[in-house]
C-alpha cells in the first residue's frame, strides 16, 4: 500500500508546478490555479507522509520527485508546447530508470 501512496503523492506533485505556471498571467494572479497548487502540495505531502512510514525516506523522496518531474515534463510538452527533442526524452528516460532501480533495490 505504501507504494500506491507514493505513486499518488507523485501524481499529486504534478498539480503544483502547473498551478503556479497558470497562476500568474499578464493580467496578474489567478486564484484557482494558485489554489490548485496549494491543494496539490498538501495532498502530495500527505501521501508522501503515509508512504514514508514503510518506504525508506531517501527512496521515497527520490521516487516522489522523479514521478513529479517526469509527469510535469510530459504535461509541459503536451499542454504548454515545451520542447520535445530527443535529448530531453532520453534524460527523462534516465529518471524513469532511476525510479525503477530504486523500486527494485
pLDDT tens-digit series, residues 21-30: 999 988 999 9
For residue 55, what pLDDT is reported?
96
Counting the structural domains of the chain, the total is 1
% of the chain at pLDDT higher than 90: 90
Give the sign of the dihedral formed by CA 78, CA 79, CA 85, CA 90. Answer: negative
For the chain, the average pLDDT equals 95
Range(s) of the domain holding residue 90: 2-104
Average of pLDDT values for 25-42? Answer: 95
Give yes or no for residue 89 having a pLDDT over 90.
yes
pLDDT in the model for residue 102: 85
pLDDT for the residue numbered 95: 95
In the predicted structure, residue 103 carries a pLDDT above the cut 90:
no
CA distances from 36 to 80, 83, 88 (A): 17, 25, 27
**What distance in Å separates the CA atoms of residue 97 and residue 43, rounded to the nearest whole number?**
26
pLDDT at 69: 95
Residues 4-14 have a mean pLDDT of 97
pLDDT value at position 104?
86
Amino acid at each position: 500500500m505504501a507504494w500506491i501512496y507514493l505513486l499518488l503523492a507523485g501524481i499529486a506533485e504534478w498539480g503544483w508546478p502547473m498551478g503556479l505556471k497558470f497562476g500568474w498571467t499578464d493580467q496578474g494572479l489567478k486564484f484557482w490555479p494558485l489554489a490548485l497548487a496549494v491543494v496539490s502540495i498538501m495532498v502530495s505531502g500527505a501521501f508522501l507522509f503515509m508512504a514514508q512510514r514503510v518506504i525508506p525516506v531517501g527512496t521515497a523522496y527520490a521516487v516522489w520527485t522523479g514521478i513529479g518531474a517526469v509527469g510535469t515534463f510530459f504535461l509541459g510538452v503536451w499542454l504548454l508546447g515545451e520542447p520535445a527533442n530527443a535529448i530531453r526524452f532520453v534524460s527523462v528516460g534516465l529518471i524513469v530508470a532511476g525510479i525503477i532501480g530504486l523500486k527494485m533495490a
